[in-house]
Amino acid sequence: MANHKAHVLPVEQIVIGSGFEDSRLKPDQAIDFMRDKWATERATICAMEQDTDGLDIDRLQDFATENGAPNLPIIALSPKNYAKATMLAYNEKGYATTDGKLAAEHGLILARRDPDLERTHGPKITEAVIAHEIGHAAAMPTVLARVDVEYKKQLFGGTNGRVSGKLTRLGFHEFPRDGAVTGHVFEEGYAERLRGKYVREQLGMARGFSDLSVEPTPLDVHVTGRRDNQDFLNGTYGAYLLGQMCEINADLSDALRDARADISTKGNVVDIVDSFEPDMYDNLNKLHYYDDRDTYILTVARAVSAVADFKKI
């Protein structure tokens, strides 16, 4: 366990939240507590039985390096162990059925070996999931966490303080304590572009895992790959839009990548995106796929149209 703690990739930037005015706990003590908690959880997850059969981990790690991401441990788990790992890390059951997760606080990439998915497509589809999470991992230098002390009333009066730590920023994603999550189009779009790149260039699958169409389309590589759901992955829309923008202004590719390493350069991304249409960045940045899918898709579609019109000028 100590070995895993020693190699944990730390969350360098941690801000102090609320609750400390009523606590004898000092902010530095709370930060140390959360670092130890994340390290202990990391060690427990790393000690779980892993399932990497058929996965080309070296190819994935090389892909991470080539695309500016740190070589985080890739932890591939059975669905049962994946559910345990995500519950341990986040105390939320909702993550149990996701295909993969960047556990940024723990410095790990988690992947779920879905037997139904791999029965149809083999281990390559799990590698594609991991490639998407590598896209998020490229933003590890921008990670910002927040530590709070939360109080809950006890049965016989008084309160019980509990230290909590959560991400408030990962790349273009921002997770305010109160308020809507922002940055979905750009963060998920960037990660999904990397997934598409891996599928096409490393796996040699120009159409990905698509059964959608007779004739190949640019979006084929981004479908879920599930027989019961051949819909596009939620990052598809942002990925396609960013791709169209990068075709017109190649500087955007470098600006997106630079902002993964240094969030202070995000202004360059904003300027390029707004060059296609005033306020385009802000209008896209406030969208969140799971809050209002229809508005999300329509707004991105309008942006794609605006970019196409710009190209004609």
The full DSSP string for 176-234 is -SSS--B-HHHHHHHHHHHHHHIIIIIS--TTTT--S-SS--TTGGGB--BTTB-PBPT
Same domain, 11 and 146: yes
Q: Print burial letters for 1-25: b (CB count within 10 Å at least 16), e (below 16).
A: eeebeeebbebeebeebebbeeeee
For residue 275, is it within any domain? Answer: yes
CB atoms within 10 A of CB 207: 17
Same domain, yes or no: 138 and 221 = no
Q: Are 49 and 81 a contacting pair, CB within 8 Å?
A: yes
- How far does Cα 69 stand from its chain's mean position? 12
pLDDT score, position 97: 86
pTM of the model: 0.89
| In-domain check, residue 226 | yes
CA angle 121, 229, 292 (to 5 degrees): 135
| Dihedral class, residue 75 (left if φ above 0, else alpha if ψ from -120 to 50, else beta) | beta
Beta pairing class for 144-153 and 159-170: antiparallel
The 10 Å CB-count burial string (b at 16+, else e) for 138-156 is: bbbebbbbbbbbeeeeeee
Contacting residues for 28 by C-beta, under 8 A, at least 6 apart: none
Note whether 151 and 2 are same-domain residues.
Answer: yes
Q: Which domain holds residue 50?
A: 1-171
Same-domain check for residues 128 and 203? no
State the burial class of residue 58 (Cβ atoms within 10 Å of its Cβ: 0-12, 13-18, 19+): exposed
**Do 222 and 308 lie in a common domain?**
yes
5 shares its domain with 114: yes
- Long-range pairs for 119-122 at CB < 8 Å and ≥24 separation? 120/209, 120/225, 120/227, 121/209, 121/225, 122/54
Using CA atoms of 4, 173, 309, 230 in order, give the dihedral in degrees to the nearest 10.
60
Q: How far is CA 80 from CA 11, 42, 95, 111, 226, in A?
A: 28, 17, 12, 12, 19
Q: In this structure, are 46 and 137 located in the same domain?
A: yes
Query: Is 80 a domain residue?
Result: yes
In a domain, 2, yes or no: yes
Does 273 lie in the same domain as 187?
yes
* Residue 190 to residues 12, 19, 82, 196, Cα–Cα distance (Å): 23, 35, 25, 10
What's the start-to-end Cα distance of the chain, in Å? 60
| pLDDT tens track, the chain, 313 positions | 333 344 445 677 888 888 777 777 788 888 888 999 999 999 999 999 999 999 999 999 999 999 999 999 999 999 999 999 999 998 888 888 889 999 999 999 999 999 988 988 899 999 999 999 999 999 999 999 988 887 655 444 444 568 888 889 999 999 987 778 899 999 999 999 999 999 989 999 888 887 655 566 677 677 666 655 556 788 889 999 999 999 999 999 999 999 988 999 999 999 999 999 999 999 999 999 888 889 999 999 999 999 999 987 7
**240 secondary structure, DSSP code:** H
Q: Is residue 177 part of a domain?
A: no
> CA angle at residue 59 from 195 to 81, to 5 degrees?
75
Domain boundary (171, 190, 224) is at 171
Q: What is the pLDDT of residue 86?
A: 95
- Looking at the fold, whether 186 and 106 belong to one and the same domain comes out as no
Same domain, 237 and 143: no
Number of domains in the chain: 2
**148 assigned to some structural domain:** yes
279 and 207 part of one domain: yes
In angstroms, the CA 15 to CA 168 distance is 9
Query: Which pLDDT score, from 0 to 100, does residue 280 have?
Result: 97
On whether both 101 and 241 belong to a single domain, the answer is no
Among 171, 205, 230, where does a domain finish? 171
Q: Which two tokens stand for residue 40?
A: 């202990």
Does 198 map to a domain? yes
Distances (CA, A) of 101 to 27, 266, 277: 29, 24, 33
- Last residue within a domain, chosen from 149, 171, 193: 171
- Is 176 among the domain residues? no
Can you read off the two tokens belonging to residue 10?
Answer: 């730390």
